[in-house]
Amino acid sequence: MSECIFCKILRGEIPSRKVYEDDLAYAFHDINPVAPIHILIIPRKHLSGVHEMSEEDRALVGHLFWVARRIAEDLELSPAKDPTRGYRLVINSGPQAGQTVFHLHLHLLGGREMTWPPG
């Protein structure tokens, strides 16, 4: 059985605050939010990161972005409805980029002004 913390969340062995789920993906609130809205969107399939994606995972990773779009609209973050609004999608790939959990995840950040470049 996988020791991966996000696989444990998917199996219900570690509690999480669910935002969305379907047969391919699961979304939940980050335990240490860095923005008023900070949601993680993960595939049910364990992939350690974008760097471990194979060709067969292309549609799955695309689906994560589709879920992000849907959640952002539900939470009224989408500039498609209000052009003054917005959100940020982040994937850290590898330790130097700040990845700490090696199960692919898309950060959805919103609810405050963002700056660029990120740290």
What residues from 47 to 106 belong to the interface with ligand AMP (CB under 6 A)? 92, 98-101
Q: Which backbone phi and psi does 33 adopt, to 5 degrees?
A: -65, 140
Mask for 4-23, x = binds Zn ion (CB under 5 A): x-xx----------------
- 103 in active site: no
User: Is omega for the bond preceding 117 within 30 degrees of 0, making it cis?
Assistant: yes
Q: Counting contacts by CB under 6 A, is residue 5 touching ligand AMP? A: yes
| All residues at 6 or more sequence positions from 98 whose CB lies less than 8 Å from its CB, including other chains | 92
> Pick from 20, 30, 85, 111: which binds ligand AMP (CB under 6 A)?
30
SS3 at position 36 = coil
Which residues are at the interface with Zn ion (CB under 5 A)? 4, 6-7, 46, 103
